[in-house]
């Protein structure tokens, strides 16, 4: 027996229902809070200043011979950057707790501390993946310019004091999702990894700030990635 065509009113009803459901789905997604761009920490170069600085960053593969340094740096030594984390600003709190509190508040989140310093609870949206994270154990304090990258870029030849200063410099530190930091970013440079789009301008501005402040060279690919990112930053 041939199958009869469905009445047009049934088909029309199905289409209307599907459109309504789709409309609710779009509205729900639009109403979900997402990561927002934040103004970088105090002391970070503006986007315009960072863009202007790119041509003056020495290309890494030309830096070692020019500075009379070995082409192959010695093995990376994290201990050369000092014990994590120190109280380098003398405010009575170690750097990790300072950054956790700073970035939670910067992102509109909250922290609870004991003794005015130690962060015992945190609730914030972190910048690298735009994740809502709750609890100190879900958060890392990341070096935007990784210490290993700084090491091979010339920090191996520094004295202890500037290495410790770099490791605790608030302009080089962000409170971020630990999984993204440890298993995705790691020691990658901007040509190999970038955070979620809302954080890219902040990340690139901070990266160039540190390269300038510590006179660190960078790979040509890193310079290109930073320039490309900063081109779209207000």
User: Over the stretch 54-72, which tens digit does the pLDDT of each residue have?
Assistant: 999 999 876 555 445 556 7
Greatest C-alpha distance within the chain = 90
In this predicted structure, the answer to whether residue 11 has a pLDDT above a threshold of 60 is no
Query: Phi-psi bin for 116: left (phi > 0), alpha (psi -120 to 50), beta?
Result: left
- The pLDDT-based confidence of 188 (bands split at 50, 70, 90) is very high
Q: How far apart are CA 84 and CA 95, in angstroms?
A: 8
At 206 the pLDDT is 98
At 69 the pLDDT is 57
Q: How far apart are CA 83 and CA 85, in angstroms?
A: 6
Q: Which residue's entry shows tokens 């902040």?
A: 202
Task: Report percent pLDDT > 90 for the chain.
Answer: 76
pTM: 0.82
């Amino acid at each position: 027996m041939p199958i009869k065509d469905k009445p047009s009113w049934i088909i029309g009803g199905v289409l209307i229902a599907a459109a309504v459901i789709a409309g609710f789905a779009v509205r729900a997604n639009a109403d979900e809070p997402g990561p927002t761009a934040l103004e970088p920490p105090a002391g970070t170069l503006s986007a315009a200043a960072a863009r202007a600085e790119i041509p003056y960053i020495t290309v890494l593969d030309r830096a070692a011979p020019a500075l009379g340094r070995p082409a192959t740096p010695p093995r990376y030594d994290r201990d050369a950057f000092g014990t994590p984390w120190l109280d380098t600003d003398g405010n009575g709190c170690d750097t990790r707790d300072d950054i956790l509190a700073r970035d939670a508040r910067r992102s509109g989140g909250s922290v609870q501390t004991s003794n005015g310093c130690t962060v015992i609870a945190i609730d914030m949206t972190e910048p690298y993946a735009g994740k809502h994270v709750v609890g100190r154990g879900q958060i890392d304090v990341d070096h935007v310019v990784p210490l290993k990258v700084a090491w091979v870029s010339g920090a191996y030849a520094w004295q202890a004091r500037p290495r410790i200063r770099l490791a605790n410099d608030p302009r080089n530190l962000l409170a971020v999702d630990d999984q993204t930091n440890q298993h995705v970013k790691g020691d990658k440079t901007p040509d190999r990894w970038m955070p979620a789009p809302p954080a890219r301008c902040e990340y690139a501005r901070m990266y160039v700030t540190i390269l300038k402040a510590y006179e660190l060279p960078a790979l040509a690919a890193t310079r290109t990635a930073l320039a490309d990112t900063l081109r779209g930053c207000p």
